[in-house]
Structure 1
Amino acid sequence: MTTPFAVEVFQNEYLAYGHGEVHAVVTVRGAHGPVGPLSQGGPAELAEVIMLDCSGSMAAPQTKIIEMRRAAKAAVDALPDGVWFAIVQGSGIAEAVYPTRSELVQADKRTRAAAKAEIGRLEPDGGTAIGRWLTRTRELMATRPNAIHHAILLTDGQNGERTSEFDEAVAACVGRFQCDCRGVGADWRVDELRHIATALLGTVDAVRRPQDLAADFRSMIDTATNRAVDRVSLRVWTPRNASVRFLRQVAPHVEDLTGTAVRVNELTVDYPTGAWGSESRDYHLCVTVPAREDDVEMLAARVNVVVADQVWCRERVRAIWTKDIDLSTRIAPEVAHYTDQTELAQALQEGLQARRAGDEVTATIKLGRSAQLAHQSGNESTYRLLQHVVDIEDPSTGTVRLKRNVDTIDEMVLDTRSTRTVRVNR
C-alpha cells in the first residue's frame, strides 16, 4: 500500500565537543486522498460548521452584515455534494439556523438552497459569546463522529464572556474540530481569535474589507474539503537521557507545538497536526542530548508520521561529535532560514505590543529587526505589510521610523499575518 506521506530531514549532524543540542528541519509532504484505515468504506466523510457573528455591532456599518451573508452563501455554494454541514448564528447565544434540528445535514442542491435562504434572513442583534458558539459547534460535530471536522468562525467584536468560561469552551473543543478564525472591522481582539486558532489547529486573519469575505470563505472551504487524511501526528522518539526541547511548525506559518505533546510511552511523544490534504509543512525540531568529549555518533531522535495510530514513515536525526571546527560550525541552510523566520514572527508581535503600550523605543528596535529579517529572508509580503506601520529607511540595518498615523486595521492585519513564513530555497 502506498504511503500517504513522505518525510525528509535536513540538519548538520556534527556537534562540537561539549555541546548537546541538535537541530533539524523536518519536511512532511502529504499525498492526496484517503489511505489505509480511512479508505475502508469509501472516501473520508467531511463535516463543516460555519459560525457567523450576528451581534448588534454587525449593523455598523451595514456593509458588514450584507457582506457576511454574501460570504456565507458563497461558502455554502462551495460545499461539495455529500459534505455534512450546518450554519450557526452567534450572538449572546448560539443557534443553529440551518438545519434547525440538532444535527448536520448533507450538502446537495436542495439543502444548499435552503441554507442560503436562512442566511439571507440573518439580522444583527445582541452581544458576543464566542465560547457558546464553539460549544454549539462541538455538539453538532459530535453527531458525525467519524468525519473530518472543520469550522469557520467570523466575528467583528470582542468576546463578552468570563475568561474562564471562554477558555473552558476552547479547551473542550481541542481534538474535536479544526477552526479557521476571521475578524472583520477593527473592534475585535487578535489575541482572542489567535487563542482559538492555535488550540484548534486553524488559522487567524484580519479581513481588511467586508467585500473580501466571500473570496476568503470560498478559499477556506476549498482547503478544508480537499483534506482527506485525518488524525495525523508527528511521533518523536528520543533515547534515554535525551528530550525534545521544542517542536515548531515553521511553514507555511510558525506554530509552537511543544505544549501539545501527548505522551505515548517513556521515550515517545505525539504532536497532533490535524487533517491533511496534498500539501507540505516544515517543522523545526530541537533535541537535547548528553554532551560528549569524544568522536562518537548517536541516534538523537526518530521522527514518524502517524495516521490513526498507524506509523507510515520514519526518519532519523543524528548527532556526531567532532573536534573539526569547520564541520561543527556549519549551520544547515534550512535551520538557519527558519530560525530567522521564527525570530521575525516574535519580533513583529513584540514590536506591535510595545507600540500599543506607547513604548516607542522598544517598538522601533523590534520592528526594525523585523524589517531586516523580512528583507534578508525574502519575505516580501511581511515586508510590504510592515511599510504600513513604519517608514523603512535602510532594511539591511533595520533602520526604521514609526509612522504616527496608522490605521488600526493595518496593524491588525500585520499582527495576524506575523507568523506567515516563506519556504526555504532548496
Structure 2
Amino acid sequence: METHGNRNADGGGGAPGFGNGLPNPRNGVPGGGSSVPGRAAGSGPGDGTGAPAPTASAGSAPSAGSSAAPVAAHPPVVGLAVSQRMYLPAGGGAQDLHAILTVRVEGVSGIEGADPGGAAPAPSLAEVLVVDCSASMKAPEKKIRAARQAAVTALKALPDGTPFAVVKGTHRAETVYPPSGPMRPASAQTRAEAERAVYAMMAGGGTCVGNWLSLAGELLAEQGAPIPHVLMLTDGRNEHDDRNPLAGVLDTWQGRFVCDAWGIGREWDARLLVRVTSRLHGSAYAVREESELPSAYDDLITGLLAKSLPELEIRVLISPGTRLRYLRQMFPTEGNPPQTEDGRAIAFTTRAWGNEVRRYQLCLTVDPAGRELGEDLQAALVEVAVPGAPPGSPAGSVSPGSLSVRLPPAQPCVVQWTDDPVLARTANEEVDHFAKHRQLGDTVALAADAFRLGRRNEAVTLLGVAVSLAHELGAQTQLAELQRIVEIRDPAAGHVVLRDGVQQIDFEYLITMSTHTTQGPTADGRPAGGVTVQPVAGLTDCPNCHVRVPSTAKFCPNCRHLLAPRVEAP
C-alpha cells in the first residue's frame, strides 16, 4: 500500500504485520513492483509467488567439547518490512533516500537449560563479567560491595553449562576467575569458587576500559560460543586510555561480542558507556542507588537468556548509480552494526536475537541524472540472511546442530523522481520519528555541555526543546529523566523551569536514557507521540527546595528538610 509518498514494503515468513508471500495488488504485479528489468520489483525466494520463505541455519557449529546449539521443533520466523519516502524532486541533484527497516523475530524458544537448577546445559551463551575495581569504587565503600553482590547475582542466574569468567578492571585487567586456563562452565562448584573470588576483589588503581574489553574479547574468542556477551560495570572515567586506546579496541572487537554497560555512583561518563555499547551491539544503563544493581543484573541476564538466535545479517544490494551512506539501529536502542562489503552487497551483522522487533535506518544517495520521471526505480534490495549464505540468496546450508531459521523474501528500496512539488514534499512518519529521536539525543548532549560550562539559560532552553521532542515522541523514559532536572509547565511548548540542586550527574543519566528509543509509528502510519506527562514513579517534590527526591526518603538529601511520612492509600 502506498499513500502520501510513504512506502511500506512488507515481507517475511508469516510474521504478523509482515508480508506472507501473497501478491501485492499494486500495478497487478506480485511483490509490489514493475516487471521491467532494472525497475523496482520484489525478489528473493518466495517473493510474490505464495511459496514459503526459505529455511536456513543461523550460528556456527559449536567448538569441540561443547554441546550442540538448541534446535527448535518449529524454526523461528523472521519478518522484514521497509518503509520509506519514495518521491524525490528531479531537479534537486543527488539526494539522500531514507528508509526504515523493521526486522521482527518470532518463535525463538530461548536458551535451553535456562533454569540454573536444571541439568541441561546452555552452550549458546558465554558470559564475561567485568567489574570496575578502580580506587573510586571504594568511595563510598558501598559501591564495591554492590558491584560484588551484583556479579554474584549474575553468576547465580547463569544456567548450568554456560561458560563464564570474571574480570577485575583497573588500569590493568585481570581474570580473577578462573584463576588460569579458559572460561569454566557454570555449575554449583564453579559458581561457589567464582563467588569467593568476587568477594575477594579489592578496589584500587585507575581505569583503562580498553584493557578490560581486550581481555574479555580474548576470553570469548577462545571459547567460541555462538552468543558471546560482556556485562561491564564502571563508576568513573577512562582516565588511563593511553595504556590501550579504546578507539583501537572497539575497531578490533566490533561485531565479535555484545557488551552491555552500567554506570554506578556519581562520577561515571555517559558518553563512554554509549560509545562502547553503540559499537558493541549493547545497551547503556545506570542505577541511582547501589542497592538496585543486583536486581538489575538479574533482569538483564534473564532477558539475555531469552535470546537463542545467535546472529542475522541485514544485506543491502546496491543498484548501479546508488551509494550507501549508512545503516544504523534506531530501536530499541541506537547503535552501529559492523559492516562487510562484497561487491555490490554490503552486510551488517546483528547479534543475539530473541522474540523481538528491531528497527534500522538505511540512508542511500541517489542521483536523478538520466532517470525517467514517474517510474519506480530500484535503488537497492534489502534482505535478511544468515552469515555465510551467498549474496542475493538468503538461504544458507543447514549444518548439524545449528538452529534453523525461516527467512523473509527480499524487499526493494524504491525511488521515484518527480517534478510535482506536492509529491516531492511528502514525508514518511517513521523516518521523521527516528530523525526526531536523534535530535532529542543531540539536544540533551548540548544541554549537558551548556550546564557543565555554567551557561544555565542556554541549558534551560535546550531542555525545553528536549521536553517538547520527548512529549511528541511518546518517550516516557526520557520525560521521567527530564522531570528530575526541570519542572515541566507545558510539555508541548517546551516551557520548563530548572529545578534547584541539579547536578552534572543528572545529565549523565539523561544522556544514557536518550539512547533508548520508542518504536515509532506502526506500518499503518499511526503516530506514537502526544502522550501525557506522568509523574515519575517513586519520586516526589521536596516542599522546601522543590528538588525531586525518592518518595520513601525521610529527609531531603539536598536541603536536609525533614519530610512528612508517606501515607499509603487504603
TM normalised by structure 1 equals: 0.90
Write out per-residue CA displacement over residues 87-131 of structure 1, whole angstroms, 9 at most, x where no aligned residue.
112223322222111311111222222222222222223332322
Q: Does 1:15 align with 2:88?
A: yes
Q: Secondary structure at the match of 1:122?
A: coil
1:349/1:418 contact within 8 Å kept: no
- 1:38: which partner in 2? none
CA distance in structure 2 between the partners assigned to 1:43 and 1:75 by the alignment = 15
Mean CA deviation greater in 343-352 or 76-85: 343-352
1:181/1:193 contact within 8 Å kept: yes
Question: Which of 483, 490, 498 is the equivalent residue of 1:387?
Answer: 483
* Structure 2 unaligned spans of 5+: 1-54, 56-74, 111-120, 395-406, 523-570
CA distance in structure 2 between the partners assigned to 1:261 and 1:10 by the alignment = 22
- 1:237: which partner in 2? 317
1:14-163 equivalences under 5 Å are: 14-19=87-92, 20-33=95-108, 45-163=124-242
Question: Which of 330, 342, 352 is the equivalent residue of 1:264?
Answer: 342
Question: Which of 347, 353, 363 is the equivalent residue of 1:286?
Answer: 363
Mean CA deviation greater in 114-123 or 319-328: 319-328
The letter for the 2-side match of 1:350 is: L
Question: Which of 479, 485, 492 is the equivalent residue of 1:396?
Answer: 492
Mean CA deviation greater in 377-386 or 91-100: 91-100
1:240-319 equivalences under 5 Å are: 240-257=320-337, 260-265=338-343, 267-291=344-368, 292=371, 294-310=373-389, 311=394, 312-313=407-408, 314-319=410-415
The count of corresponding residues between Structure 1 and Structure 2 is 417
1:96/1:102 contact within 8 Å kept: no
The letter for the 1-side match of 2:272 is: E
Structure with more of its chain in strand, by fraction: 1
Q: Does 1:5 align with 2:78?
A: yes
Structure 1 residues 44 and 24, CA, compared in 2 at 3 Å: closer, same or farther? farther
Structure 1 residues 55 and 32, CA, compared in 2 at 3 Å: closer, same or farther? farther
Question: 1:164: Cα distance to partner?
Answer: 6.7
2:287/2:293 contact within 8 Å kept: yes
- 2:466: which partner in 1? 370
CA distance in structure 2 between the partners assigned to 1:58 and 1:106 by the alignment = 29
- 1:347: which partner in 2? 443
Structure 1 residues 254 and 362, CA, compared in 2 at 3 Å: closer, same or farther? farther
Question: 1:286: Cα distance to partner?
Answer: 2.1
CA distance in structure 1 between the partners assigned to 2:235 and 2:309 by the alignment = 32
Question: 1:200: Cα distance to partner?
Answer: 1.4
Question: Which of 396, 407, 420 is the equivalent residue of 2:516?
Answer: 420
1:186/1:412 contact within 8 Å kept: no
2:217/2:253 contact within 8 Å kept: yes
1:248/1:284 contact within 8 Å kept: yes
1:201/1:273 contact within 8 Å kept: yes
Write out per-residue CA displacement over residues 217-275 of structure 1, whole angstroms, 9 at most, x where no aligned residue.
11221232322222422211221211123322111122355xx432221x221222222
CA distance in structure 2 between the partners assigned to 1:83 and 1:308 by the alignment = 23
Mean CA deviation greater in 138-147 or 324-333: 324-333
Mean CA deviation greater in 95-104 or 403-412: 403-412
CA distance in structure 2 between the partners assigned to 1:164 and 1:309 by the alignment = 36
* Structure 1 unaligned spans of 5+: 36-41
CA distance in structure 2 between the partners assigned to 1:61 and 1:143 by the alignment = 36
Question: 1:364: Cα distance to partner?
Answer: 3.0
Mean CA deviation greater in 371-380 or 355-364: 355-364
Question: 1:149: Cα distance to partner?
Answer: 0.5
Equivalent pairs: percent with the same residue? 33
Write out per-residue CA displacement over residues 4-56 of structure 1, whole angstroms, 9 at most, x where no aligned residue.
42101122323333354322211001235499xxxxxx976211000111222
Write out per-residue CA displacement over residues 122-143 of structure 1, whole angstroms, 9 at most, x where no aligned residue.
2223332322222221221122
Question: 1:81: Cα distance to partner?
Answer: 1.5
Q: Does 1:211 align with 2:291?
A: yes
Give the number of the structure whose alpha-carbon radius of gyration is greater: 2
- 1:39: which partner in 2? none
- What RMSD, in angstroms, separates the aligned Cα atoms of the two structures? 2.4
CA distance in structure 2 between the partners assigned to 1:362 and 1:240 by the alignment = 46
The letter for the 1-side match of 2:297 is: F
Mean CA deviation greater in 290-299 or 206-215: 290-299
Q: Secondary structure at the match of 2:374?
A: coil
Question: 1:326: Cα distance to partner?
Answer: 4.4
Question: Which of 165, 173, 176 is the equivalent residue of 2:253?
Answer: 173
2:122/2:162 contact within 8 Å kept: no
1:238/1:302 contact within 8 Å kept: yes
